[in-house]
Amino acid sequence: MQTRKVAILSVPMDLGQGRRGVDMGPSAIRCGRLEERLEALGHEVLDLGHVNVPDPEELGVESTGPGGGMGFLEAIRTACTEAAEKLLALSDDVFPVILGGDHSISMGSVTGVSRRERTGVVWVDAHGDFNTP
């Protein structure tokens, strides 16, 4: 098996939708010993930490629209920019794994890997719809 350098970045975002709780995804996956399991497979793991995402209550604005989130657009943009910058700083020999959060992290995660020659995205979320873009 080919071993790789793997970088893990957590983006605990729940500002892009109306339900609370999805921000706990990254910590739950990390508590499941993701880093340890990757190392057991022989991979070198770089922990990029987490992107700072404020709690909705800290922002002093109301979410708007049926899915919520539009009132938090600036905070979402800021968090996605931070994620993209961390990912863009990685060398091409590092395989990024981004743990989220709601679907709004796609702006930062896809932007962050877009300069790579070959880019693929595997998106796993709470419902098994497996849509092809």
Q: State the pLDDT at residue 68.
A: 59
CA gap 19, 15 in Å, rounded? 9
| pLDDT tens per residue across all 133 residues of the chain | 788 999 999 999 998 887 788 899 999 999 999 999 999 999 999 999 999 999 888 887 766 555 555 778 899 999 999 999 999 999 999 999 999 989 899 999 999 998 887 888 887 777 666 666 5
Element (H, E) at 85: helix 73-88
Sole residue written with tokens 């880019």: 119
CA gap 21, 2 in Å, rounded? 36
Contact status, residue 83 vs residue 77, Cβ threshold 8 Å: no
CA gap 50, 120 in Å, rounded? 22
Q: State the pLDDT at residue 65.
A: 58
Q: State the pLDDT at residue 1.
A: 72
Q: Map out the domains of the chain with their CATH numbers.
A: 5-113 (3.40.800.10)
Q: State the pLDDT at residue 128.
A: 67
Element (H, E) at 78: helix 73-88
Q: State the pLDDT at residue 61.
A: 73
Q: State the pLDDT at residue 131.
A: 62
- Choose among 66, 65, 55: nearest CA to 15: 55
Q: State the pLDDT at residue 13.
A: 93
Q: State the pLDDT at residue 10.
A: 97
